[in-house]
Structure 1
C-alpha cells in the first residue's frame, strides 16, 4: 500500500470520529509489520479523561488482533497539520520505533517523520532493561 492509499484510509476513518464536544476530527491508518492495515478515529467522552485518540485506537486495534509492530502510520485531522499528542507519540514509540509517520493534510499534501523527529530522547523498553543492570 502506498502513502496516498494509506492517507485515504485515514481520511475515511476521520469521518467516523465521535467528537460531540470538541468537534475536532482525527483519523489514523497504519500498516503493521505483517502488512495488515488498521484504522482508527478519535472518540470523545463527556468527562474527557477516557477520550481515545485516533492513533491509539488504530494501534490498540492492531495489538488486539496480534500485530505488534507498526511500519507506517498516517494521521489526518482538522488542523493543518495535525500531529500526534504526547501520549500517542509514546505509544507509537513502543510499537513503531522505526516507523514512518505520515502527517497529512490530504493525499497529495503530506510530510514524513520518524519517532526520533517527533519524540527525541524517548523512553522505551531498552531503558527498563538498562535499569535492571544497575
Structure 2
C-alpha cells in the first residue's frame, strides 16, 4: 500500500502565483468558449437570454443582475427583440415597466449556443488522458467550491 507524501503548505508568494495562474486559465477558457464556439450572438446577448430562461424580467432587473447601466441593457434587449429572441409585454401593475421574456426562438438559440459551447469543450477534452480528465474533475469540484465562497 502506497502512502501519500504530505504536501508542504504553499508560501504566500506561491499562493499568489497559483491564484493568478488559475484566474488567467479560467478567463482564457471562458473567453475562448464564448467567442470561438458560437458567433451567432455577442456574449452579453447570450447572458441576457440565459437570465430570461426561467423567469421574465424587466430591463432594470436585468441591468442590476448583469451590472450594466439601464441604457446599455435597453440597447441589448432592443436588439434581442428585433432578432426575435425576446418579447416585450406591458407590466400589468406598472405602466412604466416592460416585461421581457424569451420567445420560442430565443429558447432554441440558447440550446443551440450551449450545445456549441459543450462541443467546443468536448473537442478539447477528447485529446486528454484519463488521468488528466480525472484531475480536471477534481479541479472542477474545487473551483466550484472557490466560486461559491
Q: Same fold (TM over 0.5)?
A: no
Structure whose CA Rg is larger? 2
Larger % of strand: which? 1
Greater helix share, structure number: 2
- TM-score scaled by structure 1? 0.30
